[in-house]
Amino acid sequence: MVGGLDLTPELAEAYKFYSNATHFSIAVPYAATGTLFELITTNSVRARLDVLVWDPITNWILSDLFLACFFPLLTTRCYPNGTISALAVKVESVPNLHPSWLTLKDRSCTPIFSNDQFAQFTFSADSCGTTRTFFDHYVLYENEISLYYNEKGVARTSPVDPEYRQTVSCYYVVNDTQTVAFNAKSRPYEPKAAIGSGHMIVQMRLATDSSYQDFYDAEDYPVEKYLREPLYFEVELVQSTDPQLELILENCWATLQEEGTSLPNWDIIVDSCASPGDSYTTVFHTVLVDDRVSVPFHYKRFSMKMFAFIQEAQVLKHEVYVHCDLVICDTTSPAEGICQGQCANRVLKGTPKQTKRGRRSTSSTNRRQISSRPILLNGFQ
């Protein structure tokens, strides 16, 4: 058992499990399900993974151990424009905490994103109850992420549960002098704003593994994949820094032809959720702020296992294309329909596998359709 979960073949594949006659190795992401966090300092956490080795025949425990690693987790980011971003981590000492319950000092300031392990806050230095303290050459802005257990029924299980408090601090230098050289040149005319239309760019990429750090390049296609091998897709709203926009995947499907309306086709995501009853199990993956991702709402990640295309009782070996209808939503407007969130407003009356899709109108500024490059389906490894 790894992290309280049986090491099934699927989990072993995700954790890159390897063994021979005498040894075995395993590589588990620090944020994987089953890992436990311990906050050591403000910017350092220890991730622990419990491992139990037992004999399934006799039910004897052969070894009971844990693996622990320290990670320099950057929990606070201070931006020059006065924006502060803070990441809260669920720690083992507060086992009943759900990160979505956390708030800043101003209890109306809730996370912009949360899951079972993390909560992400973004706020300005003059909001959410942030205090400031002046020193000789800098200003200290401070806030606090905490849990108010008696808020509207959102509570810990007991008043005697451990408290959760995380300080958020940002230092800004004052009275700093910068020397800037520039040349002035008169304009021959006054600039005028021209009326036009902009374009929102989206891209779909195939990652090499579940870390979503490396992606296949154009020259790598068609990428060869084997049956039951996982595929990791990322869809991104490119060249936009607007935090009020969110990208939602409405429908995704696979075809054997480059044209998205070709038949036959196989559903992957229907009405913003994983297609029910599929044999290849679509899974959405959480996107957090890191060196590459500044606005998680602009990304959607999902994985699926490479599956056999069946037609007239025959397994097809062919190039596969994945297509997605996506919607770009304004989070400041009242959420209706698909804009309520990924898999938040699903109403299905069945999922026929080979329904004919017409191409959606491109006149709408918030809807797009995108397709992957070819993926070559092969047999079992």
**Whole-model pTM above 0.85?**
no
Indicate whether 227 and 115 sit together in one domain: no
User: pLDDT value at position 62?
Assistant: 75
Domain assignment of residue 55, yes or no: yes
The pLDDT value recorded for residue 241 is 87
Give the domain CATH number at 128: 2.60.40.3210
Percent of the chain whose predicted confidence (pLDDT) is above 90: 33
Is 183 among the domain residues? no
Mean of per-residue pLDDT scores for the chain: 80
Mean pLDDT of 345-357: 42
CATH number at residue 239: 2.60.40.4100
Domain boundaries, position 84:
76-173
Closest CA to 171 of 127, 120, 128, 137: 137
Is residue 223 pLDDT above 80, yes or no? Answer: yes
Same domain, 329 and 241: yes
Cα 371-376-379 angle, rounded to 5 deg: 140
Say if 192 falls within a structural domain: no
pLDDT (0 to 100) of residue 20: 85
| 117 assigned to some structural domain | yes
Residues 321 and 353 in one domain: yes
Domain final residue, candidates 135, 157, 173:
173
Residue 348 banded pLDDT, cuts 50, 70, 90 = very low
- Provide the pLDDT for residue 187: 74
Asked if the structure places residue 2 within a domain, the reply is no
The residue among 27, 42, 71 that closes a domain is 71
pLDDT at position 59: 78
pLDDT of residue 162: 66
Residues 173 and 180: their CA atoms lie apart, in Å, by: 18
Considering the domain architecture, whether residues 210 and 159 belong to the same structural domain is answered as: no
Same domain, 324 and 253: yes
Other CB atoms within 10 A of residue 155 CB:
15
| Rounded to 5°, angle at Cα 372 from 366 and 378 | 155
Average pLDDT rounded to a whole number, residues 166-187: 81
pLDDT score recorded for residue 103: 93
The model's confidence at residue 341, banded by pLDDT at 50, 70 and 90, is: confident
Question: What mean pLDDT do residues 13-23 have?
Answer: 81
Residues 294 and 308 in one domain: yes
User: How many domains does the chain contain in total?
Assistant: 3
Residues 315 and 257 in one domain: yes
Give yes or no: residues 255 and 346 share one domain.
yes
Q: Is the dihedral of CA 7, 10, 16, 17 positive or negative?
A: positive
Q: Which of 161, 156, 172, 165 is nearest to 98 (CA)?
A: 156
Q: Residue 298 carries which side chain, given as an amino acid letter?
A: H
Compute the average pLDDT of residues 246-271.
91
Within a domain: residue 240? yes
Query: Is residue 132 one of the residues assigned to a domain?
Result: yes
Which has the minimum average pLDDT: 41-50, 123-132, 299-308?
41-50
64 or 309, which is more confident? 64
Q: pLDDT, tens digit, for every residue of 66-102? A: 777 766 567 889 998 899 999 888 877 777 788 898 9
pLDDT > 80? residue 261: yes
pLDDT of 31 > 80? The answer is no
- 128 φψ region: left (φ > 0), alpha (ψ -120 to 50), beta (else): left
238 and 279 part of one domain: yes
pLDDT at 350: 35
Q: What number is the average pLDDT over the span 263-271? A: 89
Q: Are residues 369 and 225 in the same domain?
A: yes
Give 116-149 pLDDT, tens digit per residue. Answer: 888 999 999 999 999 999 988 899 999 999 887 6
143 Cβ partners below 8 Å, 6+ apart?
Answer: 84, 86, 104, 105, 123, 128, 129, 130, 131, 167, 168
For tokens 């890191």, the residue is: 290
Counting residues of the chain whose pLDDT is more than 70, the rounded percentage is 79
pLDDT in tens, 277-288: 555 678 999 999
User: Is residue 161 scored above 70 in pLDDT?
Assistant: no
* Structure tokens, 126: 């003059």
With beta carbons less than 8 A apart as the criterion, state whether 253 and 357 touch: yes
* 185 lies in some domain: no
Q: Could you tell me the pLDDT band of residue 362, with boundaries at 50, 70 and 90?
A: very low
Are residue 283 and residue 314 in the same domain, yes or no? yes
205 and 307 fall within a common domain:
yes
Which pLDDT band holds residue 182 (cuts at 50, 70, 90)?
confident
What pLDDT does 363 receive? Answer: 35
* The two three-digit tokens of residue 108, written as one number: 């109306």
48, 71, 94 - which closes a domain: 71
